[in-house]
Amino acid sequence: MVTVAELLSLLLVSVLWGCTNPFLKRGSEGIEHVTRANRVSQLLAEIKFIFFNVKYLVPFLLNQSGSVVYYYTLSSTELSLAVPVANSLTLLCTLLTGKILGEELGGKQAVAGMFLTMAGITMCVISSTGDKITEKQKVS
């Protein structure tokens, strides 16, 4: 049975992943202008650009903390529930954060997609809790 704590953990993962994605995109702007003579120095210059760029590093660390929470949550949650819920909500958080930051949302199709995603997540959660209730009734 899915618990409230597991759902909150998945929501936290989605927020940490989704809300940091637009900031990672903004923080990495300008990396295409980093050029060096050979491949090794190019790679080192890009690594230096990324890891000494606070606009990228802070969202990156928050994003990775979401991965730690996700790994922990997977140990106690059904994969058939955790993966679609976390990834779908991540998409929604990314779209909404991007919109708040002034990015294009994608029009009516994106809004319809968000509602369909929420409907799918709701059905996943309801079916997950419904199966467990039926099993408990059979045991009694």
SS (H, E, C) the chain: CCCHHHHHHHHHHHHHHHHHHHHHHHHCCCHHHCCCCCHHHHHHHHHHHHHCCHHHHHHHHHHHHHHHHHHHHHCCCCHHHHHHHHHHHHHHHHHHHHHHCCCCCCHHHHHHHHHHHHHHHHHHHHHHHHHHHHHHHHHC
Q: What is the pLDDT of residues 76-89, one digit of tens each?
A: 888 888 888 898 88
Mean pLDDT confidence for 83-105: 89
Mean pLDDT, all residues of the chain: 87
| pLDDT score of 80 | 81
